[in-house]
């Protein structure tokens, strides 16, 4: 067996393991093109050549039960999905690490720059480049299998895994997410690859205002605040209606909702 075949089988075995642990979709992106997006810290990708993207789908009824605003159940399910994803990323990084590959799990839902609403790296960009799905009109990653009812996580590594390529955007003329958005935040503009920034796809302020409307404001301590003064932070920034509206989320066998 030559080296290429070795890495092909190593990649396949790793993907199978991640699926056994509970990942629904797994893909590998080349890290190089991902350097063109905002990263925190800016040199985050320097030691890494690959980014493994993992998606976990949420039970369809979580969205089926949302009427006009987020439900407390959705809030809990989404926190659970984050925990599952963080665990998957942790196990994946440890497995790669045991094989002597330098590997870093990126938390599922951590905001590192609270001013600009950025995480360390965009999981959506990684997932798109790893072929899990495309960037839809709702700005979210849409997968053929589960629509946008997936949450994502990333593991950065220097393992020479075999790279998957992006898939075609299948939104076409559909504007169901735009119609479903209670704040009129989705512009309904399509993209072949990805939006230049989030404002190309959305009136971002409207989305945030809608999320805040249904959020609970908690007084928490910001890590950056040396005086330990309480800093108001929004803790329940979820909506879910653009996810519910996407026809791709309802298609898979066994996921059919009552509507
Ligand atoms: C901060 C944050 C928010 C903020 C800001 C959202 C935003 N649109 O940026 C708020 C609180 C408003 C929010 C809301 C929501 N969020 Co949020 N959020 C995040 C977080 C933590 C960071 C996002 C970030 O860093 N953005 C920075 C910018 C630069 O990147 P971006 O906006 O993601 O997208 C750009 C790139 O993807 C780029 N791109 C795409 N492909 C490529 C390829 C290349 C080569 C390059 C260079 C660029 C590129 O194009 C985009 C436009 O520039 C991520 C977790 C994470 N680390 O990714 C979750 C995340 C994006 N959120 C998620 C979700 C589900 C939501 C909500 C539905 C509510 C919820 N929590 O359930 C809403 C949906 C709003 C919407 N329709 O967009 C999911 C998305 C899953 C999916 N299927 O796509 C994520 C990935 C969390 C997760 N672990 O799954 N979120």
The ranges assigned to domains in the chain are: 3-249
Q: Kindly give the distance from the C-alpha atom of residue 94 to the centroid of ligand 1, in angstroms, as a whole number.
A: 25
Question: Across the strands, what pairs with 105?
Answer: 155
Nearest CA residue ID for atom 15, ligand 1 = 238
Q: Show Cβ contacts of residue 238 under 8 Å, excluding neighbours closer than 6 positions.
A: 70, 74, 75, 78, 211, 214
| Segment 63-79, tens digit of pLDDT | 888 887 777 888 889 88
The finding on whether 122 has its CB within 6 A of some atom of ligand 1 is yes
User: What is the distance between the terminal CA atoms of the chain, rounded to a whole angstrom?
Assistant: 52
Alpha carbon distance 187, 210 (integer Å)? 15
Beta bridge partners of 143: 147
In this predicted structure, what is the pLDDT of residue 209?
82
pLDDT at 257: 47
Closest residue (by CA) to atom 6 of ligand 1? 117
How far is 24 from 134, CA to CA, in rounded Å? Answer: 16
- Cα–Cα dist 140/239, whole Å: 13
pLDDT in tens, 200-258: 999 988 888 877 776 554 444 444 545 555 554 555 567 889 999 999 987 545 554 44
Alpha-carbon distance 84 to 150, whole Å? 12
Sheet holding 103-106, edge to edge: 25-30, 50-57, 150-157, 103-106
**Nearest residue (CA) to ligand 1, atom 41:** 125
CA 254 / ligand 1 centre spacing (Å): 28
CA 122 / ligand 1 centre spacing (Å):
6
Looking at residue 120, its pLDDT comes to: 97
Answer yes or no: is the C-beta of 167 below 6 A from any ligand 1 atom. no
Ligand 1 atom with minimal separation from the 123 CA = 58
Are 181 and 166 spatial neighbours (Cβ–Cβ below 8 Å)? no
Average pLDDT, the chain: 87
Low-confidence ranges of the chain (pLDDT < 70): 1-2, 4-5, 214-237, 251-259
User: Ligand 1 pocket check: which of 72, 126, 140, 249 to mutate, most ligand atoms within 8 Å of Cβ?
Assistant: 140
Q: How far is the CA of 121 from the centre of ligand 1 (A)?
A: 9
> Residue 140: CB within 6 Å of ligand 1?
yes
């Amino acid at each position: 067996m030559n080296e290429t075949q070795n890495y092909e089988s190593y990649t396949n075995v790793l993907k199978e393991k991640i699926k056994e642990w509970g990942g629904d979709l797994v893909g590998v992106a080349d890290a190089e093109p991902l350097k063109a997006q905002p990263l925190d810290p800016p040199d985050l990708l320097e030691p890494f050549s690959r980014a493994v993207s993992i998606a976990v789908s949420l039970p369809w009824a979580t969205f089926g039960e949302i009427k006009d605003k987020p439900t407390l159940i959705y809030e809990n399910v989404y926190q659970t999905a984050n925990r599952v994803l963080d665990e998957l990323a942790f196990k994946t990084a440890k497995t790669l690490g045991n094989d002597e590959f330098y590997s870093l799990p990126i938390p599922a839902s951590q905001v590192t720059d609270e001013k600009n609403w950025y995480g360390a790296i965009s999981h959506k960009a990684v997932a798109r480049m790893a072929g899990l799905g495309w960037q839809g009109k709702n700005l979210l990653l849409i997968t053929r299998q589960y629509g946008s009812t997936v949450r994502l996580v990333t593991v950065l590594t220097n393992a020479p895994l075999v790279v998957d390529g992006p898939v075609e955007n299948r939104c076409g003329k559909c504007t169901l997410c735009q119609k479903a958005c209670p704040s009129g935040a989705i512009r309904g503009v399509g993209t072949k690859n990805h939006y230049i920034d989030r404002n190309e796809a959305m009136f971002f302020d409207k989305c945030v205002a809608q999320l805040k409307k249904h959020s609970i404001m908690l007084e928490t301590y910001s890590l950056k605040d040396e005086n330990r003064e309480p800093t108001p932070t929004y803790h329940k920034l979820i909506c879910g209606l653009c996810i519910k509206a996407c026809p791709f989320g309802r298609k898979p066998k066994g996921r059919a909702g009552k509507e």
